Amino acid sequence: MGRTGRTVLQCATRSDVNVLDSLLNVIFKNKRPGYTRRWPRLHTTEPARLSLEGGIEVPTLVIQLSVGGARVQSSTRLEEGDVVVLSVDMGLGATHDIEAKVVHANKEDRGSYVCGLSFVNLDADQVKHIAKYISDEQQRRRNVSAMLNN
């Protein structure tokens, strides 16, 4: 405690800062004051396909989707920096192929990998379609929830 009676938190190392940051994320669930996401996220379990270099296609599951990127689960290990194509159905049976860069890949206890993808080279139509799909799906879920609660 300092002379003013206030407790002073000192972070000695970078890992201490990371631990503190993780705790703040848990406490505030990534809703820190002044923090807003650029794009809303849609939590989902949509089957999709990843196309890797060399024409390899890998089944995957989209866990989260936003206009900026996606979080996917796959049995195949991807490397940070890999460029892939995510093929995902966004309603009415329309499959969209979206170029993405792997920004992180973490192995889970069950042996699968959870990967963060950042979409690259999106054109205006792709941005508009992804945003509309997310907005429509969120509205549909709110409507279903309202019906179930009445």
Q: Which domains does the chain have, with CATH numbers?
A: 42-149 (2.40.10.220)
Residue 117 pLDDT greater than 60, yes or no? yes
**27 band by pLDDT with thresholds 50, 70 and 90:** low
Above 80 in pLDDT, residue 112? yes
Q: Is the dihedral of CA 16, 109, 45, 71 positive or negative?
A: positive
pLDDT the model gives residue 93: 75
Distances (CA, A) of 137 to 60, 64, 77, 127: 20, 13, 30, 16
H-type alpha helices, the chain = 14-28, 124-149
- Which residue type sits at 8? V
Arithmetic mean of pLDDT, 87-105: 89
pTM, full prediction? 0.71
Residue pLDDT, tens place only, 140-149: 888 888 888 8
Q: Please compute the mean of the pLDDT values over residues 122-145 and round it to a whole number.
A: 89
